[in-house]
Amino acid sequence: MRSRYYLCATTALALSVSSAFAQSAVAPQSKSHRHTQTHKSAAPKEDGPSMMGSTSPTDEARSETVRVQGSRRSSPGAGLMVHEDAAKSRSTVTQDFISKQTPGVNPMQLIAMLPGVNTTSVDPLGLNGGNMTMRGLNASQIGFTLEGFPINDIGNYAVYPQEIVDSENLRSINVEQGSADLDSPHISASGGAVNMYLLDPKDHFGGHLDGTYGSYNSRRIFGRMDTGKIGNTNLKGYVSFSAAHEDSWRGPGSQRKLHGETKWVNEWGQGNRISLAIVGNQSNSTLFPSMSLANWKKYGVNYTYTGKWNPSSPSTNYYKLHQNPFTNIYASAPSTFTLTDHLTLTETPYFWYGNGNGGGAYSESLSSQQYGAQTLSASIGQYNSSNTKSLLVYNPSNTQTYRPGAVTKLALHTGANRLMIGYWFEYSKQLQTSPYSLVNMATGTPLDVYGGGTNMVLSNGVTAEYRDTLTQTRIHTLFIDDSLSLLNNHLTLEAGLKYAMVARQGHNFLPDTSTGPYINGSWNEPLPAASIRYKLNNEIQLFASGTTNFRIPMNTALYDAGTYTSGSGYSTKANTNMKPEISISEEAGIRYQGALFNGTLSYFHYNFTNRLYSETVVQSNGAYYSTSVNGGSSHADGVDFEIGTRPILYHLRPYISAEYIDARTDSNVAAGGSTNDYVHSKGKFAPQTAKVQVAFNLDYDDGAFFSGFGLKYVGKQYATFNNDTSIPGYVTMDVHAGYRFRNYGVLKNPVLKLNIQNITNNHYLGFVNGTASNGKATTGVFGSAIAAGSTTYYVASPFFVGGSASVDF
C-alpha cells in the first residue's frame, strides 16, 4: 500500500513540475528523429514518446515512419524488434516476421518468441484457441486490443485468439509486458497488454491471394481486395475473406472457420483521419479435452473424445456433443482530428458482439429435476417422466454479449509539454444460459449446437437451466497524463492518473440462490503512473517506470449456478464480497538501438494484492462446489532481455530473447477441500510460471530466397500453490523456407513457402489449465489432513508441415 501512495505523490509532483518547466521553456523543442519523415497518418503534434496514451491505432502510426523506412528485410531481429522510445518494456512483431509464418496462425502464436511470453496452441493453425502467460500472469490478466478496442471477454476476461484477426491483415503486434497504457480500455489488465493493429488500405487498386495445404488435411484460402483511392477523394478501403479447415490431430472431429475483415480510411489536411474497421468471424471446432496427469501418463495423446456413436448405448463422450460454435462481430472507428495547431482530438468508438458456447452432454432424469429447493418432473419433446426415466441431452454453456463503448482523448501540445485528458465509457449486456436440448439419437448430433429448439421444461412450466444470468456492466474511466521533454528531448518525464469507476448489475434467474435474484457490485480505483526516460545519445536510452493496474472480480463470482443439492445449495457458489485484484509494477532498463543491432535489458518487480483465482471445494458429504476466492498477495522479481541484428554475414538476422523470473506466493492459500485449513504455500513458487524462458530465431533473406529457424525453451511450471505437482520444461523448434519469384504480367510478388512446426514432434503438456491449492495429500497449517486436489492441463500441438502459395495483383 505504501507503494501506491508513493506513486500518487510522484504523479502529483511530476504533473506540477512539468507544467512549470513548460511555462518557462524559451522555445518549442524540436521533434524526435522518428518524426522527421513524412507519414500521411501521422499526427503532427506529438512531442516525444509516451507510455500512457498510445493504444489507439493513430498513436501507433506515429512511430511507423521508422518501421517502414528502407527495405523491410533490413529491420532488426527479422521483424521481432522496432525502434522503441517508451519508458517501459515493450516488444513488437511486424509484417517482416508475420509474413513468413504459417498463414492464418493466431496472434498468440505470432508473439511466442518475445521476452516473457509463454504461449501454447492446442492445434497447429490455432483454430481451436490458445493459452498464454506473460511474466507468469495468465491471459485473463492481460488486456488485448485490436484497432484500439478491447478483445477480452467482459465477464471472465478470457481471450479467444482464433476469432480476432487474419494474420495477412496485421501490421504489427506490440506487447507491453508490465503495464497497459492509461488509455487502454480494460478492467482486467493487471499484468500488461497486447495491442494489435491492422494494415492500412493501399493507395492503388490491387489485391492479395494465398492458399495453404498441410498436415491433418489442413487447408485455407485468403483473399483481399484494395479499392485504392476512390475518385478524387482520399477515401480508400479493402475487403478480405478467409476460410480454413483442419482435422483434429487428437481424436475425431475438425476445426472450421470463416472470417471476413474490412477497413476504410479517409485522411485530409494535416493529421486528420477517420477510419472504420469491421471484423466478422464464424467458427465451429471440436473441443480437445484437457487432462489430468494420471490420464496423461496412462493415455498420452490418445486421451480424446470417442468417434463412434452407438444409438443403443449413447455416450456423453461422443465428439459431436463437445463442439465450440461461436459468432463474433467487432467494429471500431479510431479517428484523429487536428482542432488547432496545439490541440488534437482522438476518438475511438467501438461495438463488440459475440454469441456462442462450449458444448457438453449429460444423462438426465426426467422424473427428478431440481428447481432450486424443489424436486420436479420434466419433459422434452416426446419424452417425459412417464415414458422415459433417463435421457441423454445436450447442455451447452451459452454466452451472448452486446458491448458498445468509446475512448475519447484530447491532447494539448505546448512546446516541450504535452497534456492529455481522456474518458472511456462502456455499457455491456451479457446473457449467459445453459438449457437442455434434444440430441438426434440416430446420429448423436445436437439438433441445435446453440442449444435452441426443443428444450427441457419443468412441470411448473419453466425451462430448465444449468445457469441463467444477465450481467450489465457500466464503465466510466477518466485519465490524465502530462509529458515533458527537456534537454533537447534527451530527458522525458511523464506522469498520469487513471480513475476507474465500474458498476455491475446482475440478475440470476435461478431460484433459491444464496444472494437473491439481484446483485449489485461497484468498484472505484485510482491508478497512478509515472516514468522517466533519458537518452545518453542517439543509440542508448535509460528508462524507469512505476504503474498501478487492477482487475475486478469475474462476473461468475456474482452468481450461484449448477446442480442444486439439498443442504448445500448450488455446485457453483457466489462470492460477492471479493475485492479487486491490484498490481503495482516497477521497471528499469537500458535500451541500445544502433546501426547494426537493437537490444534491451530490463529489470522488473511487481506486487499483487487480492490475487483472484477459482477453487473447487469438496464438502464432508461428498458434494462439491466451485467458487472465486482471494488468494492473498504475491510478488515477483525478474529480468527480461532481447537482442536482434540487422543483416550481418550472408544476410543473416539472429534474434534472442530470454527471461528469468522469481515469482512467489506471499500467503497461505485456502485448501480446496471440506476443511477450513490452508496449505503451506507462503514463499512457494507461483504456479503457471516458468522460471526461465529462452527463444532464438535465425532469419536468412537475400531478397529472393528466405528461410528461418526458431527455437523456444520453457522451464518447469508448477500446477499447485503447494508446489507438489508440476509439468516439466520443454523445447520446440520450427523452420520455414520460401522463394519470391519475379513479377509475371499482372501477377506481382508470387511466393512459394514451406512451414514446419514442432519439427521433432515433441508431445508435451504445454499449459496448466486448472490450478489447485495442492496436488497431493498434505497436512494443513492448522494440522488438518487435506486430500489431493485436482489439476488439469492442455496438450500442445504436434508436428505440422504446410505449404502455401501467394500472389499480389
pLDDT digits (tens, 9 = 90+) for 775-789: 999 999 999 999 888
Q: What is the tens place of the pLDDT at every residue in 311-343? A: 999 999 999 999 999 999 999 999 999 999 999
Mean pLDDT, residues 703-732 taken together: 96
Which homologous superfamily is 2-409+427-764+784-808 in? Answer: TonB-dependent receptor, beta-barrel domain (2.40.170.20)
- Cα(504)–Cα(558) distance, integer angstroms: 9
Grid look-up 438426434 returns: 440
For the chain, the maximum distance between any two Cα atoms, rounded to a whole number of angstroms, is 91
- Cα(202)–Cα(225) distance, integer angstroms: 10
DSSP H or E segment with residue 616? strand 612-618
Contact 758, 744 (CB under 8 A): no
Mean residue pLDDT of the chain comes to 89
Q: Which pLDDT band holds residue 26 (cuts at 50, 70, 90)?
A: very low
φ/ψ of residue 430, rounded to 5: -130, 115
φ/ψ of residue 596, rounded to 5: -100, -40
- Cα(138)–Cα(56) distance, integer angstroms: 24
- Cα(125)–Cα(152) distance, integer angstroms: 21
DSSP secondary structure, 621-645, as one string: TS-EEEEEEE---EEEEEEEEEEEE
Check pLDDT > 80 for residue 467: yes
Q: Which pLDDT band holds residue 259 (cuts at 50, 70, 90)?
A: very high
- Cα(410)–Cα(37) distance, integer angstroms: 24
Mean pLDDT, residues 165-181 taken together: 95
**What phi-psi label fits residue 269: left (phi over 0), alpha (psi between -120 and 50 degrees) or beta?**
left
DSSP secondary structure, 488-517, as one string: TTTEEEEEEEEEEEEEEEEEE-SSS-SS-S
φ/ψ of residue 320, rounded to 5: -70, -10
Q: Which pLDDT band holds residue 83 (cuts at 50, 70, 90)?
A: very high
Predicted local distance difference test score (pLDDT) of residue 194? 96
Check pLDDT > 80 for residue 616: no
C-alpha cell at 542: 535509460
Check pLDDT > 90 for residue 31: no
Check pLDDT > 50 for residue 398: yes
CA distances 593 to 170, 442, 799, Å, are 24, 65, 36
Check pLDDT > 60 for residue 447: yes
DSSP H or E segment with residue 707? strand 705-714
- Cα(129)–Cα(800) distance, integer angstroms: 17
Contact 655, 697 (CB under 8 A): yes
Percent of the chain whose predicted confidence (pLDDT) is above 70: 90
Instruction: From 189, 41, 155, select the one nearest 500 (Cα to Cα).
Output: 189
Predicted local distance difference test score (pLDDT) of residue 64? 39
Check pLDDT > 70 for residue 3: no
Q: What is the tens place of the pLDDT at every residue in 626-635? A: 556 677 899 9
Beta pairing, strands 569-572 & 561-565: antiparallel
Bridge partners for 802 per DSSP: 214, 755
- Cα(113)–Cα(721) distance, integer angstroms: 27
Grid look-up 519475379 returns: 742
Q: Which pLDDT band holds residue 307 (cuts at 50, 70, 90)?
A: very high
Beta pairing, strands 143-146 & 193-198: parallel
What letter would DSSP give residue 680?
S
Q: Which pLDDT band holds residue 60 (cuts at 50, 70, 90)?
A: low
Mean pLDDT, residues 455-465 taken together: 96
Q: What is the tens place of the pLDDT at every residue in 215-254? A: 999 999 999 999 999 999 999 999 999 999 999 999 999 9
Check pLDDT > 60 for residue 678: yes
Predicted local distance difference test score (pLDDT) of residue 342? 94
C-alpha cell at 95: 509484417
Query: Mean pLDDT lowest for which of 15-29, 491-505, 560-574?
Result: 15-29
Mean pLDDT, residues 134-141 taken together: 92
C-alpha cell at 793: 492441463
Q: What is the tens place of the pLDDT at every residue in 567-581? A: 889 988 888 888 899
Mean pLDDT, residues 462-477 taken together: 96
Predicted local distance difference test score (pLDDT) of residue 568? 84
Check pLDDT > 90 for residue 63: no
**Domain spans in the chain, listed from the N-terminal domain onward:** 2-409+427-764+784-808
Q: Which pLDDT band holds residue 382 (cuts at 50, 70, 90)?
A: very high
Q: In 48-169, at which residue ranges do the beta strands (DSSP E only) sit?
A: 91-94, 117-120, 131-134, 137-138, 143-146, 149-150
- Cα(304)–Cα(173) distance, integer angstroms: 34
Counted residue by residue, the chain has a size of 809
Q: What is the tens place of the pLDDT at every residue in 740-773? A: 999 999 999 999 999 999 999 999 999 998 788 8
Q: Rg of the chain's alpha carbons, rounded to an integer? A: 27
DSSP H or E segment with residue 117? strand 117-120
- Cα(672)–Cα(719) distance, integer angstroms: 14
Predicted local distance difference test score (pLDDT) of residue 42? 36
CB atoms within 10 A of CB 391: 21
